[in-house]
Amino acid sequence: MTFEELRKANAERHVEWARGNVLPLSFRGLELAGEAGEACNELKKLERARLGMAGGKEDISNLREELADILICVDLIAMDLDIDLAEVLRHKFNKTSEKYGLSTRL
């Protein structure tokens, strides 16, 4: 799957899901924060399991899905602002490598 495929599917599903509403960036931010919170909750449960605490679990299937939700939400924000996610990801990855003197580049 490519970023372009995700963007196309997000654009199509947005029309279906929003039902004509114009969603503000604040809504997109809440979506992203919600999904990040869900991912963190799954991380908490993994840590509980690692520490032998009650309420822990070692199954990462929910975490996998929450990470996917985060990427979907990030793309929705980028879609609304007409940001080329692949281009900016490459730029920022390389900028960080340069900043810290690391050789890995995208």
Q: Which of 66, 78 has the CB closer to Mg ion?
A: 66
Give the C-alpha distances (Å, rounded to integers) separating 91 from 2, 3, 4, 23: 17, 15, 17, 28
**Which of 75, 61, 51 shows the shortest CA–CA distance to 1?**
75
CB of 55 to Mg ion, least distance (A): 19
Give the residue nearest to Mg ion (CB): 69
Q: Is 38 in the site for Mg ion (CB under 5 A)?
A: yes
Q: Is 69 in the site for Mg ion (CB under 5 A)?
A: yes
C-beta separation of 28 from 76 below 8 A: yes
CB of 71 to Mg ion, least distance (A): 11
